[in-house]
């Protein structure tokens, strides 16, 4: 990319983050009566459901605290992080140390899931808040929750999703989120042998079991030793997850000099684009069958905000690390499609859910699954990386 283009992109991503997405969530999401953050926001920011997603509370803590720590010590950002942290501390944890998935506006528990993803986002939110505030108790709670996650991942600790006597399987999402969680915890708590062990294990699992170079795909489900499974779940490819996972691996390569991680991570990106790019309408499909069989998930052809946001950063990072102009061309292609469809110039923020042709499926800006995380994180990471490329 030419320097002028890099400069223009940097300004665009800065403006989109700090003049659209961030103000939208600061203005509309904070619940000043009960604490925490409303997640279900209509196009204009009005609240259409007062129930709160706990994993989105934790993600928002991380995002506000990260901006405070790494961009500028802006008091309003730290206040927002503390406001949500106080709610999570009071209402987010069950007696067993696990976290609730959903609570009422006032914080009464509604739902607790068998999955550990809320806890992983709890770890990064508490850890980043501890960096911003100096709150040692927040960091200790993050470390305790991380230890609890590792304990629950031991065989037999969580009820299985599928009867293991009939079919044993595992999912890509767990090593991916363990890698990302440990990377963030390492920033707040420093390097530890345990962190190195978890990162090494997650990388080995992703690259040796879920990345299948022969099939040219990154699969969501594999057998316990990485063996293929000839089922609908076994053929499932989620381009957004694979691209996000590849970005975490490239970040690890940069942070710790792991040059050997770069070629397989780039293959993950290449395979995901080949499977996921919609040649008819542009943008990235949500789910794909690796063998071209009929997709069974009815939202398979939707275009989601987080998929495109994460893909933008993965492609820009791939271009920066590899110097391959092909990734620059892919980035430009995806950038044009994404910015033509997701941002709302009238009310600010990004839409979340589009139909295959790019038309709006629903005008909501936030829900129990969409919050202040993927879009601002990707905008911030791209803005920061573009500045690095210019320097």
Please tell me the predicted confidence (pLDDT) of residue 257. 87
Please tell me the predicted confidence (pLDDT) of residue 160. 83
Please tell me the predicted confidence (pLDDT) of residue 163. 85
Please tell me the predicted confidence (pLDDT) of residue 342. 98
Please tell me the predicted confidence (pLDDT) of residue 81. 98
Q: Please state, for a pLDDT cut of 70, what percent of the chain lies above it.
A: 100
Instruction: Say which residues have a Cβ less than 8 Å from residue 154's Cβ, sequence separation at least 6.
Output: none
Please tell me the predicted confidence (pLDDT) of residue 368. 97
pLDDT one-digit tens code per residue, 267-283 = 999 999 999 999 999 99
pLDDT one-digit tens code per residue, 260-269 = 999 999 999 9
| Mean pLDDT, residues 344-357 taken together | 98
What is the torsional sign of CA 313, 246, 364, 359?
A: positive
Please tell me the predicted confidence (pLDDT) of residue 164. 85
Q: Tell me the pLDDT band of 247, cut-offs 50, 70 and 90.
A: very high
Q: Write the burial class of residue 106 (CB in 10 Å: 0-12 exposed, 13-18 middle, 19+ buried).
A: middle
| Mean pLDDT, residues 225-244 taken together | 96
Residue recorded with tokens 């069989």? 293
Please tell me the predicted confidence (pLDDT) of residue 390. 97
CA distances from 318 to 267, 277, 364 (A): 10, 17, 31
Name the percent of the chain in helix, strand, coil, to the closest 5. Answer: 55, 10, 35
pLDDT one-digit tens code per residue, 133-192 = 999 999 999 999 999 999 999 988 888 888 888 889 999 999 999 999 999 999 999 999
Label the pairing between strands 353-354 and 303-304.
antiparallel
3-state secondary structure of 324: coil
pLDDT one-digit tens code per residue, 47-72 = 999 999 999 999 999 999 999 999 99
Given a cut of 90, is residue 44 above it in pLDDT?
yes
Domains and CATH numbers, the chain: 31-159 (1.50.10.20)
Neighbours of 293 (CB within 10 A): 9
| Mean pLDDT, residues 246-254 taken together | 98
| Mean pLDDT, residues 84-107 taken together | 98
Q: Are 88 and 35 in contact (CB under 8 A)?
A: no
pLDDT one-digit tens code per residue, 13-37 = 999 999 999 999 999 999 999 999 9
State the average pLDDT for the chain: 97
Given a cut of 90, is residue 85 above it in pLDDT?
yes
Please tell me the predicted confidence (pLDDT) of residue 99. 98
Q: Which two tokens stand for residue 279?
A: 């040649």
Q: Which two tokens stand for residue 189?
A: 């708590």
Residues in the chain: 391
Please tell me the predicted confidence (pLDDT) of residue 331. 98
Closest of 312, 183, 294 to residue 239, by C-alpha? 312
């Amino acid at each position: 990319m030419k320097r002028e283009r890099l400069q223009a992109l940097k300004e665009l991503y800065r403006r989109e983050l700090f003049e659209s997405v961030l103000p939208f969530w600061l203005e509309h999401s904070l619940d000043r009566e009960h604490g925490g953050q409303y997640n279900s926001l209509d196009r204009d920011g009005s609240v259409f459901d007062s129930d709160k997603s706990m994993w989105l509370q934790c993600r928002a803590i991380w995002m506000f605290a990260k901006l405070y720590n790494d961009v500028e010590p802006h008091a309003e950002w730290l206040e927002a992080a503390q406001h949500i942290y106080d709610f999570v501390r009071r209402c987010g944890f069950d007696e067993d140390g696990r976290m609730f998935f959903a609570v009422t506006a006032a914080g009464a528990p509604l739902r607790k899931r068998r999955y550990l993803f809320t806890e992983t986002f709890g770890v990064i939110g508490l850890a980043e808040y501890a960096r911003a505030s100096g709150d040692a108790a927040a960091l200790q709670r993050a470390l305790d929750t991380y230890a609890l996650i590792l304990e629950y991942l031991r065989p037999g600790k969580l009820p299985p999703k599928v009867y293991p006597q009939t079919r044993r399987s595992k999912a890509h999402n767990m090593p991916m989120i363990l890698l990302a969680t440990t990377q963030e915890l390492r920033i707040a708590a420093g390097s530890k042998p345990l962190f190195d062990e978890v990162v090494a294990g997650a990388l080995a699992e992703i690259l040796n079991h879920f990345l299948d170079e022969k099939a040219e795909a990154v699969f969501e489900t594999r057998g316990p030793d990485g063996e293929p499974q000839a089922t609908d779940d076994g053929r499932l490819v989620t381009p957004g997850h694979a691209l996000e996972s590849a970005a975490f691996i490239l970040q690890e390569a940069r942070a710790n000099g792991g040059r050997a991680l770069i070629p397989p991570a780039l293959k993950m990106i290449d395979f995901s684009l080949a499977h996921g790019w919609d040649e008819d309408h542009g943008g990235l499909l949500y789910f794909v069958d690796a063998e071209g069989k009929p997709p069974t998930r009815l939202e398979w052809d939707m275009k989601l905000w987080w998929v495109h946001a994460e893909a933008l950063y993965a492609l820009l990072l791939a271009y920066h690390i590899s110097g391959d102009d092909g990734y620059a061309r892919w980035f430009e292609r995806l950038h044009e499609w994404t910015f033509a469809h997701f941002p709302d110039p009238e009310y600010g923020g990004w839409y979340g859910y589009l139909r295959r042709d790019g038309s709006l499926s629903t005008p909501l800006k936030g829900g129990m699954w969409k919050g202040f995380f993927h879009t601002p994180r990707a905008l911030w990471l791209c803005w920061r990386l573009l500045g690095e490329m210019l320097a």
